[in-house]
Amino acid sequence: MRVVSMDEQARKNPFQETFERLRARRWDMARTSARERIERLRKLRTTIIERREALYQAIHADFRKPAAEVESSEMLLVLMELDHAIKHLGRWMKPRKVGAPVLLAGTRSQVRYEPKGVVLIISPWNYPFQLTISPLVAAVAAGNCVVLKPSEKTPHSSAFMAQLVRDVFDPSEVTVVLGGAEESQALLELPFDHFFFTGGPRVGRKVMEAAAKHLAGVTLELGGKSPAVVDSTADIKATAERIAFGKFLNGGQTCVAPDYVLVPAAKEEEFLARMRETIEHFYGKTEEARKANPDFCRMVDDAQFTRVNRLLERSVASGVRVAVGGTVDAASRYIAPTVLADVKPDSPIMEEEIFGPVLPVLRYERLDEAVRHIRAGTKPLAMYIFSHDRAAVERLLEETSAGGTCVNTTVVHLSNAELPFGGIGESGVGNYHGEYGFRTFSHERAVLRQGPLFLLNTFFPPYTEKAKKMARMASRLFE
């Protein structure tokens, strides 16, 4: 078998040298103390705050996201993640003592958290800053070396982050790779110790295949058609406001956005009327006013605009009614905040995750129908329940599955660093945020120390009658 030289590997993969540089540094990073890691996180925090205005400009240049949304859904969440890690990292890193069975009397056991090594983070375009830097915080807190690959769809945001990382971290610790699918594919060929990907299921499968090839860890943060279930006890006005906020934030380009709403038939018209009132209050009384509103961002590129617009056109052609909105403008990639009525489970808008500012509303007669509909699809990343009936809430929680759930609100669960954020099945593998992120990028190493007292020598060969008797007695302790 011919041995492939390092020079040949470098020629074959343009990022081999980058990877080797980080791999050479990984053991130094593994030995860093909590204080040293916190210093890195503090420097990152300070630099982000200093460049707040530049971040606003970069994300606005990519898809006209308003500064207020950049602040609340990008900047704030990253700062909260940083502050949480800085406050708790010392405790997270401490070995955790665990107990032992009676047969291991005289031993001491603990779980130690060691970094996985060199990790790859591939981030998406919809929240380009938050979904790149939040996992980076967790990876650095855990003591890893990191390669970041932000999306090519948001070039201004990606360039901002590349410069940020260069100014905060040594390139042998954290580095950014810019580019598109070709660069991502080249990175996936390298033997990272953990692959972290946020995006869609199609690419997620490729990342999982790459991780399997290297027998590496993998975290997939995907998406899906996240339902909002409204029952007859819900406060319809408050429900409409909270669903509209979660749906139209970021122009609907949010992985945990309510994808569709299930409402009781008797409450449908009231819900539609309240949605219209809310949209007019949030974005303007008329379609013209809403289109001119600077607080509503655009689809990120022509491909995303075309995909969502075609879903909308096909749905209307199939008999779906536009209750609010429906206006589009290809030149500015604008799709109005839109609510659809008379939607059926087989309507085109229900074929895939919408990932845009279009909200289908489906009616149901009995809660059983809503449960069956949710179960018929893949497990979503999020589920939203609007109800003041505790029994109904518990039933929905027990009889469905989702990555995360909010009751009487939307999307804000991901801002609590004490909660794990992640999907299940088609919506993802693994989770992060807070200590969960630290553990995602750490290996939990079992360590047992034997003291002077050692009972297990009773079970050493040769297996005499006495040894057999002792083994039987030991087993009976657990019968």
CATH (domain of 184): 3.40.605.10
Percent of the chain with pLDDT over 70: 98
Share of residues in the chain with pLDDT > 90 (%): 91
Decide: 254 and 246 in contact? Cβ < 8 Å.
yes
Domain presence at residue 452: no
Q: At what angle do helices 52-63 and 34-50 cross, to 10 degrees?
A: 70
- 294 and 160 in a common domain: no
Residue 476 pLDDT: 81
- Do residue 176 and residue 238 come from a single domain? no
Mean local confidence (pLDDT), 44-69? 97
Per-residue model confidence (pLDDT) at position 2: 43
Q: From residue 130, how far is each of 11, 48, 240, 271, 427 by CA, in Å?
A: 34, 12, 26, 32, 19
Q: Is residue 450 part of a domain?
A: no
344 within a domain of the structure (yes/no) = yes
Cα gap 294→234, rounded to integer Å: 32
**One domain, residues 254 and 203:** no
In the prediction, which pLDDT does 8 show? 54
pLDDT tens profile 174-232: 999 999 999 999 999 999 999 999 999 999 999 999 999 999 999 999 999 999 999 99
Task: Over range 40-53, report the average pLDDT.
Answer: 98
**Are 221 and 255 within 8 A, CB to CB?**
yes
> Does 64 share its domain with 112?
yes
Query: pLDDT of 92-120, one tens digit each?
Result: 999 999 999 888 989 999 999 999 999 99
Q: What is the pLDDT of residue 471?
A: 82
Look at residue 462 and tell me if it is in a domain. no
Asked if pLDDT for residue 353 goes beyond 70, the answer is: yes
What H or E segment, with its residue span, contains residue 329?
strand 328-329
Say if residue 341's pLDDT is above 60.
yes
Number of domains in the chain: 2
Helix (H, G, I), strand (E, B) or coil at 228: strand
CATH number, domain of 278, equals 3.40.309.10
Residue 340 lies in a domain: yes
Q: In terms of Cα–Cα distance, which of 186, 30, 11 is closest to 116?
A: 30
Q: Is residue 466 part of a domain?
A: no
Q: Is the pLDDT of residue 66 over 60?
A: yes
Whether residues 215 and 242 share a domain: the answer is: no
What value does the mean pLDDT of the chain take?
95
Together in a domain, 211 and 292: no
User: Which domain does 331 fall in, by range?
Assistant: 227-422
Q: Is the domain of 149 the same as that of 33?
A: yes
Please say if 255 is a catalytic residue.
yes
Query: Taking a C-beta distance cutoff of 8 angstroms, is the pair 297, 65 a contact?
Result: yes
Q: CA 283, CA 293: separation in Å to the nearest integer?
A: 6
User: 289 and 187 in one domain?
Assistant: no
Residue 72 maps to a domain: yes
CB atoms within 10 A of CB 270: 14
pLDDT of 253: 97
Q: Looking at the predicted structure, is the pLDDT value of residue 434 above 70? A: yes
3: pLDDT strictly greater than 70:
no
Task: Clarify whether residues 409 and 439 are in a common domain.
Answer: no
Under 8 Å between Cβ of 433 and 81: yes
Q: Annotated catalytic, 406?
A: no
- Indicate whether 165 belongs to any domain: yes
Q: Which residue has the tokens 């969502």?
A: 308
Q: Does the structure show a pLDDT above 90 at 474?
A: no
User: Do 220 and 430 form a contact (C-beta atoms < 8 A)?
Assistant: yes
> Are 33 and 182 in the same domain?
yes
76 and 166 assigned to the same domain: yes
Q: Which of 255, 297, 353, 426 is the catalytic position?
A: 255
Catalytic-role residue among 221, 241, 268, 426: 221
In this predicted structure, the answer to whether residue 165 has a pLDDT above a threshold of 70 is yes
Same domain, 54 and 154: yes
pLDDT reading at 454 higher than 60: yes
